[in-house]
Structure 1
Amino acid sequence: MHIKLPRLAAMVGLLLTAASAVAQNTSVDSKAVTLVAKMTLPEKVAQVQSGAPAIPRLHIAAYDWWSEGLHGIARNGYATVFPQAIGLAASWDTQLLQQVGTTVSTEARAKFNAIGAGRDHARYDGLTIWSPNINIFRDPRWGRGQETYGEDPFLTGQLAVHFIHGIQGDDPDHPRAIATPKHFVVHSGPEAGRHGFDVDVSPHDLEATYLPAFRAAVTEGHADSVMCAYNALHGTPVCADNDLLATRLRRDWGFKGFVVSDCDAVDDMTKFHYFKPDNAQSSAASIQAGTDLDCGNAYADLLEAVNKGYLQESVIDTALTRLFTARYRLGEWGDDKSPYDGIGMDQVDSSKHRQLALLAALESIVLLKNENNTLPLQSGTRLAVIGPNADTLETLEANYHGTARAPVTPLAGLRERFGADHIRYAQGAPIAEGVPITIPETALHTASGSTGLTGEYFDHADFNGKPALTRTDRVVDFDWDQVTPIDGQHDGRYAVRWTGEWLPPGAGDYTLALHVDRCFDCNKQHDPVHLYVDGREVLDDNGDDSSMQTVLHVADTRSHTIRLEYVHSGQDQGIRLQWLAPEQAQLAKAEAAVRDADATVAFIGLSPDVEGEELKVDVPGFNGGDRTDIGLPPSQQAMLERAAAGGKPLIVVLMSGSAVALNWAKEHASAVVAAWYPGEEGGRAVARVLAGDYNPGGRLPVTFYRSTRDLPPFVSYAMKERTYRYFTGTPLYPFGYGLSYTHFAYAQPQLSTTKLDAGKTLTVSALVRNDGDRDGDEVVQVYLDAPDDALAPRHALVGFQRVHLRAKESRRVTFELAPRPLSHVDALGQRAVMAGHYRLFVGGGQPGYSEGVTAQFVIDGREALPR
């Protein structure tokens, strides 16, 4: 046997690297074991709770394990705010997801370094990022589906793998941060009852739909942490499920990291699942099953559990060893030189990161309809910009977000791109009946007649002395979570007084409201707010949320003096001055804007005020953060119809975290665009797409159904008639769908073989050509149709690539299909590559909904695959 020297050197290098990694891990594990052995039992119990206190005698700093980074480092001040996860998924771009993950962990490191290694790190200051959310978005009614990568297990898994790689970095011994895919497993609503529901899912659906993304996150993404969910699976709460955590996760998938519970999930086992009679026994069951860390304080009762014999202390030692191994690998103590020590605060929302946020927003936009080439719009077009999502901050940031330093709303983006003198704006409608929305700039004037209100900002928590800053604010719609509106003000205590004129657009009853983003776990010291109209106090809230709305009747359109006072003395996170205006007055304003324009752009959809995690909302169409109706709310539908009656081209831009049944818009609008919750650069991205500066290439990561009637019961986790894989009806817009300003054609499909031995890899390729006159991105998708089987999906995505092609350019796009994507799951949940005749479709979407080419092949034999 002869081995060439370069190859031999490479092999030796790989062996040395592997040996070094083993030695490093052994050293870190050894340090963790030694440290844990020095702790008392009460100290150990405190350290397996998410808010782990300092142990000065052992030189252990306090560390809170809870940090968020779903689409930007969250809840810790200024950060780059990317499109919400469902928007990132619409890009179908794995490399983009990796870049976003890298940015999230880089900004987390910057904030960590600003405090310093070896020092206490409070909640959201740490390097353990509880993201991504890779639950399957099985039903559009689920309010938290916006946090996911959509309905397909393969797409979700591949996006998760790359996001995790971005979060953790390239050095497994020194992760930049630790990613935590969640919520393991079978958890996607309803929000009501989420703390105690039991899922009795079939073995087939568990293996075919709910587990694959988590398996990929662990076996390919090498996630160093996993979060277990609130729900039970077949009667056992998943955070206490030994088969799931010890057998499937650790033995079958080789997971070496730590498991953290969803917040208060262990306490839920006692209070809602009635799994055990007290938290001592629920905690013992959880930690023995493999839940190492409790987000909450139920694990405080582990002391009782040990004393009463429910648990051996050595089990806590095992969990702590995993936890402190992670802390050592992150370099939390600063004992060793970290490769990330040089990351500074100058990298937080840097110009480079903002450009990436813009790119992410651009890539997320999906063109759904473009009748008669309505888009792109010509320069000089006079636009009526209407709709509740045209100028609101919350529909940029979504949920689990950081604070955007310079957010660009769609209204601002269109003014920037087309010129303010070419834009006529009217809000037109609220999001939904009974849901207040920010009072628009059109209804606010300063005393001097400028648009907006005069804001006086005081750098202390009262209104004494001279303001540190005076400026005009177009609207009162601010996210000040962990930031101050006054540059150079550091103690977090300030007061703001806004004054000016309120101009009702018509006579009628107006609901005036104040929305303060409350610190959810603050027991007291909420920020007081007071609202005065014509010198009379109409809202007085001293932090108890008792009177945040009032109804005023106005007889005409004369102006009224308005004064709003806000004192930031606690930990609340921002303020919005809102209203519900009479419907006809709003519609008349929209109609007037349309009358003076060449075309109308309507920003419609949902908002984080109505879809999200366990919200306190109960209005028609919405309940507790979930939806009861997937149609567009009636107030917005009325606005669209009134706008269309003017005869001008109508461009509908949907901003939401989930699919909306836009049946009327599909039939009557000139163009339809899905922009999701697009992040801090969202308005600029939408404007560039509408102007044709960027050719949209996003694809739907979820099915758009025509009606709520198309959906099975929300509480059922059976996959029959759910998602494109099993839905037998006709969708409004199918999963994988998206148009372009150019045209792509497919030809010359090629397979590496037409007769494949089970367990082998198949190569498939096709020639893709941009036939149009514009450069553009195509998302090349590969779908597998298996032999007839009642359990097999109608189509299954098995490969995808987003490729950029210049006008008239051709490229052969190739996919390597490993055995797992080619496999089948039987009724018992066993996965195997099965013999039979198969068909592959390569195209710009699903078979039957896009152009593409097909190829057929046969699999010989059977090959069982590992769990």
Structure 2
Amino acid sequence: MDMTQQLTHEEARRQAKVIVDQMTIDEKIGQIKYEAPAIDRLNIPEYNYWNEALHGVARAGVATVFPQAIGLAATFDDHLINEIADVIGTEVRAKYNEFTKHEDRDIYKGLTFWSPNVNIFRDPRWGRGHETYGEDPFLTSKFGVAFIKGLQGQAKYLKLAATAKHFAVHSGPEGLRHGFDAVVSDKDLYETYLPAFKAAVEEADVESIMTAYNAVDGVPASVSEMLLKDILHDKWSFEGHVVSDYMAPEDVHENHKYTKDAAETMGLAIKAGLNLVAGHIEQSLHEALDRDLVTEEEITNAVISLYATRVRLGMFANDNEYDAIPYEANDTKAHNNLSELAAEKSFVLLKNDGVLPLRKETMEAIAVVGPNAHSEIALLGNYFGTPSRSYTILEGIQERLGDDVRVHYSNGSGLFQDHAAEPLAKADERESEAVIAAEHSDVIVVVLGLDSTIEGEEGDAGNSQGAGDKPNLSLPGRQRQLLERLLAVGKPVVVLLASGSSLQLDGLENHPNLRAIMQIWYPGARGGLAVADVLFGAVSPSGKLPVTFYKNTDNLPAFEDYNMAGRTYRYMTDEALYPFGYGLTYSSVALSDLQVKSYEDTATVTATIQNIGNFDTDEVVQVYVKDLESEFAVPNAQLKGFKRVYLGKGAKQTITFDLRPQDFEVFDAQGRNFIDSDRFEISVGVSQPDARSIALTGVQPLQTELSLAGSQTTH
């Protein structure tokens, strides 16, 4: 259905006002809390705004569990994530329709979803980075828009109401977030931290925005007029509602010490543009009214914004097509197959010395070892639902091999604890079993990394290393020692890294027996099957890194420093271990026939890619733009286009990219954006145009210089 047929914000506010005008002031204040009580005299049921759908319907029982957000970003396939979000919306409606029939309106059972997380993964130590779409504002914007559009749908009523979070400048440290002040320049603010939110509002018409815990330049986000009024409403014309992160309003006076008490906090928050309190101080609005810190009209407008969302969701309508979605539409075979496909596309092959794909006809036994080899939590990331059936890496390999190849298993070590099984034993008590399994096998598959118990959100992650953040990029616990012992066996070793962020193997990457490394993220409930299919060549890996894999954190700025200098592929000067945009396949490609034509302040880029290898594969063609003149340009080339294409053996495809004016813009010290140059370097390839990526892939990107006043062609 065409987007123009959607119920408009204006009409929704008109209908909402009719409802809200019937409420008393006490009832209005009650509605400003996330768990809004029923108003029986108006036949309004209770409603809980808190729901999660980061990579599937979360915390509401059985649902399809897709790969974690960072893994979805690694697909570089915004069409796929749009399809996934649409499926999530269908499963939500299937469950919601049944829950409401049973008058179950509890938390996680509504239609307003606090997803996606479009913050920038600026520092690899941040524990919640795996909830995001990576370190690049362009990629994050594209994925955020596609996900939001998929969740919200295109019918008369919204399928779901999506929420872009956390607004703004939010990316750790987790342990400091309740009182942290993110000091940021206007240039970094508008160049890096805001673009994904701007795109969510202006391109996806996101229904909701969530404020962050932290302050920005001294003002807590939940009471920031600069963020909520000047930027969100005045500059971007946002028409939805604004919700706080959970207990963030309490932080304003309790941790930031920005206000004296809850009444002052609530007065400032409502005036700034906050509509919904995820917390417990909404009743302080009574005192705020008495002290003239807020007006009843301002409270009324906040509630109208909330009810406009409920109107747009069709919650008071009798012609909502989504009401007919049956319970059987949840957790279907097709949805789980889509999850498996997404996982296959997300895996990033970092190294392959000819060992992959494995050929089961040449082996009698395979060792599958490591703390994440048979771990369900390593499949799921955080904010996940309950899979009706999950396949660990071990189970996926066993399923695909059947009785053809013997599978030897040992966990080898704990994930980060010294002891894997017996607390009275020595720290290395499981390593010998893993070595024995390796000695009796032809190939060793080692599944290492992290999971959300040690890499995640403050309050959820159980590690003592930093409230969910990582202290460094090394493998935790005894995982390195386990890997060293397995490498010493002398058999080919394949390392699978399950994590939501960059790791490094402390130099073991170059060990002659370490024949392949693949980043598998947190691959969802069907992750084990997807891993097995890629390992044994049913499908080629084709993911690309949405984050930089640094060699170490030694040269990174302090975690608390939000200045972008030296961070991410756009600003870093050091060589990466594995660069943003990098990822191998089982095949080889050749690029040719680059043509770039400019039309005033836009350009069209075309290039041809051919599969010259012996394996059918997907490949991701990437376009990077580097400003060659402006003093305000970022130091390195920036991603400005990507397309995933399927190439059978020998197949050739010509791809076209349209570059917009904003793809050539820079931001000055005041955050103003404009085109400041006539000369740009355009690169088209399967990676960044940096020396490290070229050395790793063996593919030289096509490059030419573009003048916006003319056109250039190279071959």
State whether TM-score is above 0.5. Answer: yes
Aligned to 2:627: 786
AA of the residue aligned to 1:352: A
Aligned to 1:496: none
Q: Distance in 1 between matches of 2:336 and 2:583?
A: 25
Q: Distance in 2 between matches of 1:244 and 1:125?
A: 30
Aligned to 1:853: 702
2:65 aligned with 1:81? yes
Aligned length: 698
Q: Distance in 2 between matches of 1:735 and 1:675?
A: 15
Aligned to 2:713: none
Note the C-alpha offset of 1:711.
Answer: 1.5
Q: Distance in 1 between matches of 2:167 and 2:10?
A: 28
1:821 partner SS: helix
Deviations 1:768-806 (A, max 9, x none): 111112111110000111125365231110000111111
Q: Given the alignment, which residue of 526, 546, 565 partners 1:681?
A: 526
More strand by share: 1
Contact in 1 for aligned 2:343/2:530 (Cα 8 Å): yes
Note the C-alpha offset of 1:239.
Answer: 1.3
Contact in 1 for aligned 2:9/2:239 (Cα 8 Å): no
- 5 Å-filtered alignment, 1:190-339, equals 190-333=173-316, 335-339=317-321
Aligned to 2:346: 364
2:201 partner SS: helix
Contact in 2 for aligned 1:61/1:118 (Cα 8 Å): no
Q: Given the alignment, which residue of 141, 144, 149 partners 1:160?
A: 144
Aligned to 1:423: 407
2:479 aligned with 1:636? yes
Contact in 2 for aligned 1:662/1:706 (Cα 8 Å): no
2:434 partner SS: helix
Q: TM-score when scaled to structure 2?
A: 0.95
Contact in 2 for aligned 1:375/1:671 (Cα 8 Å): no
2:599 aligned with 1:763? no
2:697 aligned with 1:715? no
Q: Given the alignment, which residue of 30, 55, 60 partners 2:44?
A: 60
Q: Given the alignment, which residue of 430, 433, 441 partners 1:586?
A: 430
Aligned to 1:345: 327
Q: Given the alignment, which residue of 552, 575, 580 partners 1:730?
A: 575
- Per mean C-alpha deviation after superposition, the further-off stretch among 142-151 and 846-855 is 846-855
AA of the residue aligned to 1:666: E
- 5 Å-filtered alignment, 1:410-449, equals 410-419=393-402, 422-433=406-417
Q: Distance in 2 between matches of 1:90 and 1:400?
A: 19
- Per mean C-alpha deviation after superposition, the further-off stretch among 378-387 and 296-305 is 378-387
Contact in 1 for aligned 2:114/2:164 (Cα 8 Å): yes
Aligned to 1:821: 663
Root mean square deviation, CA, Å: 1.9
Q: Distance in 1 between matches of 2:183 and 2:452?
A: 30
2:583 partner SS: coil
2:21 aligned with 1:37? yes
2:485 partner SS: helix
Note the C-alpha offset of 1:254.
Answer: 1.7
Contact in 1 for aligned 2:667/2:674 (Cα 8 Å): yes
AA of the residue aligned to 1:673: M
Aligned to 1:567: none
Contact in 2 for aligned 1:365/1:696 (Cα 8 Å): yes
Q: Distance in 2 between matches of 1:26 and 1:673?
A: 50
Note the C-alpha offset of 1:726.
Answer: 0.5
Aligned to 2:106: 122
Q: Given the alignment, which residue of 648, 665, 668 partners 1:806?
A: 648
2:238 partner SS: coil
Contact in 2 for aligned 1:66/1:123 (Cα 8 Å): yes
Gaps (5+ residues) in structure 2?
Answer: 711-715
1:230 partner SS: coil
- 5 Å-filtered alignment, 1:400-419, equals 400-419=383-402
Q: Distance in 2 between matches of 1:791 and 1:833?
A: 10
Note the C-alpha offset of 1:860.
Answer: 5.4
AA of the residue aligned to 1:342: A
Contact in 2 for aligned 1:73/1:80 (Cα 8 Å): yes
AA of the residue aligned to 1:652: V
Aligned to 2:618: 777
Contact in 1 for aligned 2:141/2:195 (Cα 8 Å): yes
Identity %: 41
Higher radius of gyration, 1 or 2: 1
Contact in 2 for aligned 1:617/1:623 (Cα 8 Å): no
- 5 Å-filtered alignment, 1:86-97, equals 86-97=70-81
AA of the residue aligned to 1:608: S
Q: TM-score when scaled to structure 1?
A: 0.78
2:677 aligned with 1:693? no
AA of the residue aligned to 2:367: A
Q: Distance in 2 between matches of 1:245 and 1:805?
A: 46
AA of the residue aligned to 1:744: V
Note the C-alpha offset of 1:430.
Answer: 1.1
Q: Distance in 2 between matches of 1:94 and 1:616?
A: 29
Deviations 1:408-452 (A, max 9, x none): 000000111123551000110111135x76x5xxxxxxxxxxxxx
Contact in 1 for aligned 2:627/2:677 (Cα 8 Å): no
Q: Given the alignment, which residue of 116, 120, 132 partners 2:116?
A: 132
Note the C-alpha offset of 1:31.
Answer: 2.1
Gaps (5+ residues) in structure 1?
Answer: 1-12, 440-509, 512-552, 554-580, 862-867
2:703 partner SS: strand
Q: Distance in 2 between matches of 1:160 and 1:271?
A: 32
Contact in 1 for aligned 2:414/2:477 (Cα 8 Å): no
Deviations 1:808-841 (A, max 9, x none): 1111111001111111111221110122311010
AA of the residue aligned to 2:652: S
Q: Is the alpha carbon distance of 1:253 and 1:840 closer, same or farther for their aligned partners in structure 2, counting shifts above 3 Å?
A: same
AA of the residue aligned to 1:781: Q
Q: Is the alpha carbon distance of 1:383 and 1:842 closer, same or farther for their aligned partners in structure 2, counting shifts above 3 Å?
A: same
Aligned to 2:55: 71
Aligned to 1:145: 129
AA of the residue aligned to 1:101: A
